[in-house]
Amino acid sequence: MNVASLAISILCWMIIALAVTPVLWLFLLPYVKGWSRSERQAANLLRDMLTPEQLRQLLWRGYLEIPSPTEPRRTYRVPKSKGYVQVIENGRAIMRLCLQPVEYLPDADVVVLHKLMIEANEEIYLEKANKYTCHD
């Protein structure tokens, strides 16, 4: 085996490892952190609700982008842990939204809650949320 083929082989294995790591981490995270049963169930539900690309985005970027069902240029950025949901239009943040459940939910369940509410009825979602405009 020459040096070039060895380098290509190592590079390919590194790419495969980088592609698989976020999914493996999501499976192992609940056990590494010592999460409660409800937090593990929430992580499982989140994993079932999202595509592999959405999971990678949530783990690597720290937020999930949900396209608006009614406005083609609008996207909602839902953080993976507590924080404001950003409303992005034409590539710019125009608003921050605050919408939290009344009772405690694990962070993964809150992400699912935002995703389902936006996709099911964006208008009611926006009515219920506290809105804060973004100023440049």
Q: What is the pLDDT of residue 28?
A: 67
Q: Who's near 42: CB < 8 A, 6+ residues apart?
A: 105, 106, 107, 108, 109, 112
64-92 mean pLDDT: 94
Total tally of structural domains belonging to the chain: 1
User: Which DSSP symbol is given to 84?
Assistant: P
Over 70: is that where the pLDDT of 122 sits?
yes
Place of tokens 């608003």: 95
Tens-digit pLDDT profile for residues 87-120: 999 989 999 999 988 898 899 999 999 999 999 9
Tokens standing for residue 96:
């921050």
Domain around 18: 3-133
Tens-digit pLDDT profile for residues 11-60: 888 888 777 777 666 666 666 665 678 888 888 899 999 999 999 999 89
Q: What is the pLDDT of residue 24?
A: 67
Inter-CA distances, 74 with 35, 66, 102, Å:
34, 9, 27
- 55: three-class secondary structure by DSSP: helix
Angle in degrees, CA 102, 104, 107, rounded to 5: 115
Tell me the C-alpha distance between 112 and 80, whole Å. Answer: 10
Q: What is the pLDDT of residue 67?
A: 96
Q: What is the pLDDT of residue 88?
A: 96
Tell me the C-alpha distance between 107 and 78, whole Å. Answer: 11
Tell me the C-alpha distance between 111 and 63, whole Å. Answer: 9
Contact 75, 63 (CB under 8 A): no
66, exposed or middle or buried, with CB in 10 Å at 0-12, 13-18, 19+? Answer: buried
More confident position, 84 or 38: 84
Backbone angles phi, psi at 42, to 5 degrees: -65, -40
